[in-house]
Amino acid sequence: PGSAEAHLRLGIVLLSEWNYDEARKELLQALSIDPNLAEARYFLGLIQLRSYELDAARESFLRARQLRPDRPEVVTSLGVTARKQGKPDEARRCFEEALSLDPGHADAHWHLADVLLLQGEYTSGWEEFEWRWKHQGFLTPSRDFAEPVWNGEAIAGQTILLHPEQG
């Protein structure tokens, strides 16, 4: 009962089962044992974000970033929170910071695409949007057609195949 790590791991399992109330209890117990447990702050922030407790989520992610500034998923989650709070410039800075920590972080690329498109930066936004194929949360399976993907070049006199991707 005195192991912060055990409470953390149980909280993560409960979170993965969408049992936010019990997960929150375990994460708070972990933090009562070890207030500097960055992972517990991060996962508590995820619960708060998913529960639209945006100010609390922001505080949790800020504290987690303070404890572990090398974690791109923490900075990305801070950016998602800022985006939901209607702060696209702050969100963009967070996603760019996350990418400076890990240039291959698909989640940060995908969320950066959203902000860029919202800000009217379509060329770079659509380029970033290609990272959706590497994002774990993107449920549409990639289709491997033999023909090349259309990248906007002129198609006069040619045929183009349109297929559904996102519903």
The pLDDT tens digits for 65-80 are 999 999 999 999 999 9
Quickly tell me which residue has 């045929």 as its tokens: 159
Instruction: Report d(CA 93, CA 38) in Å as an integer.
Output: 21
**Which tokens hold the place of 56?**
């609390």
Residues 119-147, mean pLDDT to the nearest whole number: 83
Q: What is the mean pLDDT of the chain?
A: 92
The predicted pLDDT at position 151 comes to: 78
Cα→Cα distances 58→3, 9, 62, 81, Å: 26, 22, 6, 6
- Check residue 147 and give its pLDDT: 81
